[in-house]
Structure 1
């Protein structure tokens, strides 16, 4: 089974072809940081953004500075060794490349947005020095540490602990923290600002959506193979985890919007976070916890081709700079 201890190396017969198809789709979705043009962003930052928007951007890039590095570390330290499928490990290897690409993108972003070296250093120290970002980082590190000493998934309890870590990173970190960050970026783009950031974010968005879809497929496969792992107690832990994540991200939103950003309210951000959390719970087969609707109309008005797999939509064009057909029909 998928979570059995060991390291299966046999690709034929292929036990989990869906993971191999996801790996191939990811390869076709290749992009490079050099394709992103930040030139108009610099003019926006110099002449067009308000002081409140500048504070939002500074907090956003401070979160981006280390966010994907945390995800990559968990992938290497906790995920790769426990998913016993060579097809899945191929996908995880590709995901690690994509996390590194995102780190490269955000590093380039900071180099362009923050020409002062001291400001860049301060951004990379945000997980220690900015309370709203530190709270999110502490949440991440606590779940990384939760299975740090788990070398083999020998027992039911070991498997449950592993699944909680995987659910945390897919549903809460990539699926909530980053989706909140994307909302800020698309809000700015809706005002005609920072098109370079928005372009790169479109590509990061597609990558993160695929990462979430992969993780949820691992979870659903484990559930199908070992249904006794999923009970009311586990569901209760997942709901509590997502509620804590929503509270962490709400605290960050309070900081981000503390200078008063015209057109974006803390109340709307909170409702959006609740909406996203409910979608994650539904994807896990768990009843929604909030019942909130998406109040951010600009999220639905973005380029449909770029945001094809946002929430319930399916991808029809899932590639950049390549030719050929890609089928990626998994819900996320």
Structure 2
């Protein structure tokens, strides 16, 4: 076995099995009808609309791009498992649509968010700019082809799953810190763990490429990655302006920008690039996230996997 680390990632992923049917949305329905303020309802509707489209983009990229060019059997085992998990996430988000947005016309609009909600369309355009670039490549023949592949993978890991989704999770955990939408938070705990594993796998692939072809990681690639992450922050900040446009007590645009910059710095460090922003995490409720076997007074059940691994996801300096 040439790349045993990918096989171990696959085995760990198998241990982390959960199903959408385990999530209890009964408290969420009460919150939606009686507790959420109009500004919070707007935030949730936009968030669910993004969720409903985001993982579909990821799944398409997995099948059409990454699986084609990451051809070691151990890594393809993991990618096959990841595709299952992306489908599970889509099922979770579709269930959120059905549960949270009963109106058929409003639900259809949310499902087509990438076409009719400007802040989400902008994020979609960013994704297609950076990950569609290798759709026409059957083989990675040249050095530039390999760089294009790396940019695709870095966009997927650092920006889509590593920034867009982590920004979205902050809104979920903020609402949970107020005792709202326990079902959404419970499902997000599991998605959070999955997405962290997906991101770590992608970064390990990037590191393996660095070990085998270090000449690809030159100043040109670094500059393009830095440009990409800067664009991702602006897209996600525009999404924050939309979500928070009606005013949410306890969550400001200034804090959200600082949080996004903090996360971006962690991604740059993982990629061996210097930090740009030097920001701190302004959200104390994110530092408390332990997504394995999490029980607190907001939840009725333990949010553990059916078969779990030990460990936690925390927003510390090494995150």
| Matching of residue 210 in structure 1 with residue 200 in structure 2 | no
Give the distance between the partners of 1:205 and 1:144, measured in 2 at CA: 22
Structure 2 spans left out of the alignment, 5+ residues: 295-302
Deviates more, 1:192-201 or 1:153-162: 153-162
Query: Deviation of residue 142 (structure 1)?
Result: 1.6
Can you list the C-alpha shifts for 1:290-328, whole angstroms capped at 9, x where unaligned?
Answer: 111101111113346468xxxxxxxxxx961126x6689
Q: Distance in 2 between matches of 1:328 and 1:235?
A: 30
Give the match's secondary structure for 2:134. coil
2:13 is the counterpart of 1:26: yes
Task: Say which SS state the counterpart of residue 111 (structure 1) adopts.
Answer: helix
CA distance, structure 2, for counterparts of residue 100 and residue 141 of structure 1: 20
Q: Which region of structure 1 is more displaced relative to structure 2, 180-189 or 298-307?
A: 298-307
1:155 to 125, 142, 155: 142
Q: Following the alignment from structure 1 to structure 2, what is the Cα–Cα distance between the partners of residues 15 and 297?
A: 42
TM-score, length-scaled by structure 2: 0.93
Deviations 1:40-86 (A, max 9, x none): 00000000011111110011001011110000000111100101210
Mapped pair 1:122 → 2:109: yes
- Asked if 2 retains the 8 angstrom alpha-carbon contact of 1:30 and 1:319, the reply is no
Note if 1:322 corresponds to 2:307: yes
- Gapped regions of structure 1 (runs ≥ 5): 1-13, 308-317
Residues in 1 aligned to 2:13 and 2:175: alpha-carbon distance in whole angstroms: 28
Counterpart for residue 297 of structure 2 = none
Bigger shift: residues 173-182 or 135-144: 135-144
Supply the distance in 1 between the matched residues of 2:83 and 2:290 (Cα, whole angstroms): 27
Q: 1:146-196 CA deviation, whole Å, 9 max, x = no partner?
A: 111011011111111000000001000000000000000000000000000
Say if 2:65 is the partner of 1:73.
no
Residue equivalent to 2:268: 281
Q: Secondary structure at the match of 2:277?
A: coil
Alpha-carbon separation, structure 2, partners of 1:271 and 1:91: 33
Give the aligned partner of residue 223 of structure 2.
Answer: 236
- 1:116-172 Cα offsets, whole Å, 9 max, x none, are 111110101111111100000111112232111011011111111000000001000
In 2, Cα distance between equivalents of 1:168 and 1:322: 30
Contact between 1:319 and 1:326, CA under 8 Å: does it hold in 2?
Answer: no
- Corresponding residue for residue 201 of structure 1: 188
Residues 55 and 86, structure 2, Cα contact 8 Å, conserved in 1: yes
2:114/2:124 contact within 8 Å kept: yes
SS in structure 2 opposite 1:24? helix
Task: Please name the residue that 1:186 is paired with.
Answer: 173
User: What's the secondary structure of 1:46's corresponding residue?
Assistant: helix
Distance 1:68 1:301 in 2: 25
Q: Kindly state the Cα deviation for residue 278 of structure 1 after the two structures are TM-superposed.
A: 0.3
* TM-score, length basis structure 1: 0.89
Q: Describe the SS at the equivalent of 1:260.
A: coil
- After superposing on structure 2, the runs of 4+ consecutive aligned residues of structure 1 that deviate more than 3 Å are 302-307, 325-329
Is the 8 Å Cα contact of residues 28 and 319 (structure 1) preserved in structure 2?
A: no
Distance in 1 between the 2:293 and 2:262 partners?
21
Name 2:242's counterpart in structure 1. 255
Confirm whether residue 46 of structure 1 aligns to residue 33 of structure 2: yes
Contact 1:278–1:289 (Cα < 8 Å) also in 2 = yes
Residue aligned with 2:179, SS: coil
Task: Give me the CA root mean square deviation.
Answer: 1.7
Aligned residue number for residue 155 of structure 2:
168
CA distance in 2 between counterparts of 1:106 and 1:100 reads 10
Q: How many residues align?
A: 307
**1:248-304 deviation digits (Å, cap 9, x = unpaired):** 000000010000000000000000000000000000111011111101111113346
